[in-house]
Amino acid sequence: MNKTEPPPPSIAEGKKLRNIFGQFASGVTVVTTTSADGTPHGATVTAFTSISLEPRLCQVTLTRTSKACSILADNTFAVNILAADQDDIALHFAGRPREEPIRWGEHDIAPSLCGNLATLWCRPWARVDAGDHIIFLGEIVDAEITEDRDPLLFFRSTFHDIGPTSHDGLWTHSGDDPLTGWFGANADLRPLT
């Protein structure tokens, strides 16, 4: 039997999928780097995640056709994790420039923004083709955090703040990690009968 590829999704299906993705609340970052002429450049990115503690890796995902994607190609970069009061910065780097000039921080790896909740400076580790996006993995070579501030969140196409905590428990690891989780590394798991 020949396997046939499914037809491309219609515009309506694409909008539905985008709305479904929008149900997942995420933090907001601005990825910054320098263009070939040395000018700082940034793009607002919600597709950011930690990947590995050893080696120290994170990822950002950019639309393949974006200017930022071509500038980031093999450059060092900074991931600026935005604080709740930086929604104007997020909008600026998403294409709605603000009148007030951007305050850039100095770093020997990549330019960064001032006033972030946290900043990660990265060297390129890998680049992965991912359909209409490119996934950039960065090796974290330096980091900075500002204590006692709340993050800027993005949910259903709008910015939000974190709000009150839902409980007092602190979750520090994955429950299915064999070294720290529910089961030890040598657990003998058998199906229930």
Tell me the domains of the chain and their CATH numbers: 26-159 (2.30.110.10)
φ, ψ for residue 160, nearest 5 deg? -140, 165
Residue 16 has pLDDT above 80, yes or no: no
Instruction: Give Cα separations from 142 to 57, 75, 145 (angstroms).
Output: 11, 15, 11
- Return the amino acid letter for 97: P
- Return the amino acid letter for 18: R
Single pTM value for the model: 0.75
Residues in the chain: 193
Task: Retrieve residue 155's tokens.
Answer: 């949910």
> For 58-87, how does the pLDDT look when each residue is reduced to its tens digit (9 = 90+)?
999 888 888 888 888 889 999 999 999 998
Task: Compute CA 39 distance to the chain's CA centroid, rounded to the nearest angstrom.
Answer: 22
> For 133-175, how does the pLDDT look when each residue is reduced to its tens digit (9 = 90+)?
899 999 999 999 987 788 887 655 566 577 666 666 655 655 5
